[in-house]
Structure 1
Amino acid sequence: MDFDLSEEQRLLKESVDGLLADAYDFDARKKYMKEKGGWSKALWGKLAEQGLLGLPFAETDGGFGAGAVETMIVMEALGKALVVEPYLATVVVAGGFLRHGGSAEQKAKHIPGIIDGSKTFGFAQLEKNSRYDLFDVVTTAKKKGDGWVIDGEKFVVLNGENAQTLIVTARTKGGQRDKTGIGVFLVPADAKGVTRKGYPTQDGLHAADITFTNVEVGADAAIGDPENGLPLIERVADEARIALCAEAVGAMDESLKETVEYIKTRKQFGVAIGSFQSLQHRAADMFVALEQARSMSMFATMASDFDDAKERASAVAAAKVQVGKSLKFVGQQSIQLHGGIGMTMEAKIGHYFKRLTMIENTLGDTDYHLRRVSEGGGLLA
């Protein structure tokens, strides 16, 4: 199998890498984090100008009709630069719901705003006791005339503080852990009854806890079947996990480079510590862990096009397991080899470790996905 990028994909990689190299060094990132909402609207506009926000959307919707490989390329670059802008929440997650389940009217209403950078989204899914189970939903959506009334609470909604529109999972019938009776709804963030409490997360992003109290939305708010939305949710969640794996690979790649450069220059006993064989072995082990994660990230990217939902889910879960193990090892070794300076806010390497740790715990940690792989019978028949 040929794993080389096509000419168009190489040009995309060069383009996004070049943009972030010019506009997103560590000092610039710290400035962006201090802006309202925790990210740069100007940088978001540059991403839009380069067409990066429109990559996965069909040409008929104003996008470029790119696939999972292109998303992988962008997410790796975002991981390397520690980008805090809401690409995952808006383009990958919200875009995924609209692409796979949105009506023609919903696409026409929302996709142009994503592509030109004027609209961002938040995915309100996590609840107080749901952990990583997407079907564990207490928030309700009850019929009222042709529309719906939504009540409930959602937590750690990435970009929830800034989003103009929220994508909300809510139960239309059945019990808390039933796999049927779950709908997906588009809710304006400024709708009456929506209360948001924003805060920064450990990795420098921003999230919000959101309460919905008698929030009324129209019939056109439901994405797909409001009584059987779980398959759509699972598909989009798997695409988000694939994107997170790619982002982690980018962050690990840069972590390794930063660490190797540091041990080449840090001196002890009059010589660079990189000359010590034990530290060279650690760096070699970090490289192996990175390449294992990279291969599984590529496998998951290819699996995004699998027709069989069970096969796709098993592949994505396996990738999340390997990436989770690798990022923990690479992150911990990066801090260890940097010594005390790696624990300071001034050192870039600590911020990589924080982001990697958050990735490992987003949409299912390593243990959760190892259980998914086991329950699915493994990757090999």
Structure 2
Amino acid sequence: MEKLVDTEDEAMLRDAARGFLDNFSPVSAFRKNRDEGRAFDPALWSEMGQMGWAGVLVGEGDGGSDMGHRAAGILCEEMGRTLTASPFISSAVIAATTLRAAGSDHLSSIATGETLYALAVDEGSKFAPSRTAMEARADGNAFRLTGAKAFVAEGSTANRLLVLARTSGSAGDEQGLTLFDIDASRAGIKQDSVETIDYRDFINLSFDNVEATGDDVVGDVDNGLAALAPGLRAGQAALAAELGGLSAGIAAITLGYLKERKQFGRHIGSFQVLQHRAAHLFAEIEVTTSAIAAAGRALDEGSENAALLSSLAKARATQTAKLAVMEGVQMHGGIGMTDEYDAGFFMKRARVGAEWLGDYGHHAAIVAAHRGL
């Protein structure tokens, strides 16, 4: 794959984002959030909103900065480098993209960062929207939602939910699903916290006869996957970018450690076998960075290959992050998994990021099918 380099504007955005995050959201800030038991720093998110990040995919007419998917990917890469926790992907990317296509009234409050969305799709241990079984039973001109959702990212802090439920058919059917946009505090919704190894905000949700009106429907009844598809593609590309940035972040930390750690009177970075491993990791990160850039640009251009390139980027980024964190921890030695060092945090986030919005097998199968394999 040809190396896709940043344009001048993209390089400026990256430099600005990196400077901001290095100053206000280094890995030590993630550690502080964890120790204080909060999902993310609301003051930091407010600053992101003021800089236009929350509205990166919202049109200017709705108060957004409308910078596009490639810009969103760059921001995610830089947030991945420092393990910045925020509702950016769930709200500013997935929800904004989905609701913009549907012409929602909530875009302006997404752009300011005031309204936070969570995506309630998964019901099992794997990402499989078509297997949705949650019932949305017709009740006059409204619906009654009953069922459960698992692994809902940013769920405890969100004030609105995008919920995929079944209005007809049975689990496994791609048709018969409807997407709802509802208030997270609506009667009948219960939250159960989930402890994840990356210390991020994930919850399980149960719905007991929750009312949803026709105004809550996003897109068309029984065609919810089509309504959600733009948001899912955008979210997968953005998450790939975060994992790409995470890979670069742990690689930089590891390289610094190789330059300072001594064994047998020599810096371990002078050992050829470690040099070869570091060079291999660098090459993998470069190829993955190109795949991430290609996905973002395809989304901006409305390319028919956007879904494929988003899956390619997510698959590659998942594998590259796995390699990067394994090499990082191993080159640090046993201390790499201790809480005193940051390397273990990158490994834990990479593991959770690998599963969310489809794991390697899910996306590799899409790429393979496109190639006729």
Give me the TM-score of the superposition, normalised by structure 1: 0.93
The equivalent of 1:117 in structure 2 is 113
The equivalent of 2:123 in structure 1 is 127
CA contact (8 A) 2:220 2:227 kept: no
In the alignment, the residues of structure 1 paired with residue 244 and residue 44 of structure 2 have an alpha-carbon distance, to the nearest angstrom, of 22
Matched, 1:148 2:148: no
* Residue 5 of structure 1: how far off its partner (Å): 3.5
**Secondary structure of 1:38 counterpart:** coil
Deviations 1:189-229 (A, max 9, x none): 11110000123421121111000001012221011112112
* Residue 30 of structure 1: how far off its partner (Å): 1.8
The equivalent of 1:234 in structure 2 is 229
Match of 2:261 among 263, 266, 270: 266
> Quick one: which amino acid aligns to residue 123 of structure 1?
L
In the alignment, the residues of structure 1 paired with residue 28 and residue 363 of structure 2 have an alpha-carbon distance, to the nearest angstrom, of 35
CA RMSD of aligned residues (A): 1.9
Deviates more, 1:66-75 or 1:36-45: 36-45
Matched, 1:55 2:67: no
Alpha carbons of structure 1 residues 276 and 4: separation in structure 2 relative to 1, 3 Å:
closer
Describe how 1:282-361 pairs up with structure 2 within 5 A: 282-305=277-300, 307=302, 309=304, 311-361=305-355
Give me the TM-score of the superposition, normalised by structure 2: 0.94
Match of 1:217 among 192, 209, 212: 212
CA contact (8 A) 2:27 2:84 kept: no
Alpha carbons of structure 1 residues 256 and 308: separation in structure 2 relative to 1, 3 Å:
closer
In the alignment, the residues of structure 1 paired with residue 134 and residue 303 of structure 2 have an alpha-carbon distance, to the nearest angstrom, of 30
Describe how 1:365-380 pairs up with structure 2 within 5 A: 365-377=359-371
* Residue 94 of structure 1: how far off its partner (Å): 1.1
Alpha carbons of structure 1 residues 113 and 35: separation in structure 2 relative to 1, 3 Å:
farther
* Residue 307 of structure 1: how far off its partner (Å): 4.7
* Residue 359 of structure 1: how far off its partner (Å): 1.7
The equivalent of 1:185 in structure 2 is 180
CA contact (8 A) 2:244 2:320 kept: no
CA contact (8 A) 1:194 1:212 kept: yes
**Secondary structure of 2:205 counterpart:** strand
* Residue 9 of structure 1: how far off its partner (Å): 2.9
In the alignment, the residues of structure 1 paired with residue 298 and residue 159 of structure 2 have an alpha-carbon distance, to the nearest angstrom, of 32
> Quick one: which amino acid aligns to residue 47 of structure 1?
M
In the alignment, the residues of structure 2 paired with residue 358 and residue 292 of structure 1 have an alpha-carbon distance, to the nearest angstrom, of 22
Deviations 1:234-266 (A, max 9, x none): 332121110011111111111111101101111
In the alignment, the residues of structure 2 paired with residue 324 and residue 128 of structure 1 have an alpha-carbon distance, to the nearest angstrom, of 20
Deviates more, 1:141-150 or 1:299-308: 299-308
CA contact (8 A) 2:3 2:290 kept: no
**Secondary structure of 1:304 counterpart:** helix
Matched, 1:168 2:168: no
* Residue 170 of structure 1: how far off its partner (Å): 0.4
Identical amino acids, percent of aligned pairs: 31
Return 5+ residue gaps in structure 2 as ranges: none
**Secondary structure of 1:283 counterpart:** helix
The equivalent of 1:39 in structure 2 is 40
Deviations 1:74-98 (A, max 9, x none): 1111101101111111111111211
> Quick one: which amino acid aligns to residue 359 of structure 2?
D
In the alignment, the residues of structure 2 paired with residue 316 and residue 207 of structure 1 have an alpha-carbon distance, to the nearest angstrom, of 23
Q: Which has the higher contact order (CA 8 A, sep 6+)?
A: 2
CA contact (8 A) 1:187 1:217 kept: yes
* Residue 36 of structure 1: how far off its partner (Å): 5.8
Matched, 1:244 2:245: no
Alpha carbons of structure 1 residues 175 and 30: separation in structure 2 relative to 1, 3 Å:
same
Deviations 1:327-361 (A, max 9, x none): 21111111110101101122111111111222222
**Secondary structure of 1:291 counterpart:** helix
Return 5+ residue gaps in structure 1 as ranges: none
CA contact (8 A) 1:149 1:216 kept: yes
Alpha carbons of structure 1 residues 241 and 150: separation in structure 2 relative to 1, 3 Å:
same
Match of 1:363 among 328, 349, 357: 357
**Secondary structure of 1:17 counterpart:** helix
> Quick one: which amino acid aligns to residue 25 of structure 1?
P
CA contact (8 A) 2:33 2:39 kept: yes
CA contact (8 A) 2:169 2:176 kept: yes
Number of equivalent positions:
372
The equivalent of 1:69 in structure 2 is 70
In the alignment, the residues of structure 2 paired with residue 378 and residue 360 of structure 1 have an alpha-carbon distance, to the nearest angstrom, of 25
CA contact (8 A) 1:92 1:240 kept: yes
Alpha carbons of structure 1 residues 307 and 366: separation in structure 2 relative to 1, 3 Å:
same
